[in-house]
Amino acid sequence: MAVYRNEVSHEWERRDLLRRWRAGAVTRAEICDADFLLVTAATHHGRPADRPCPVCGGDDLRVVRWIHGEQLGRMSGTARSDEEIDRIVATGKEATVHTVEVCPRCRWNHLLTAVTATAS
**pLDDT by residue (tens digit) across 36-58?**
999 999 999 999 999 999 999 99
What residue ranges do the domains of the chain occupy? 2-119
Q: How much is the average pLDDT of 4-16?
A: 97
Q: How much is the average pLDDT of 86-105?
A: 96
Measure the N-to-C terminal CA separation of the chain; round to a whole number of Å. Answer: 6
Q: Of 105, 100, 110, give the one whose Cα is nearest residue 30.
A: 110
pTM of the model: 0.92
**pLDDT by residue (tens digit) across 84-93?**
999 999 999 9
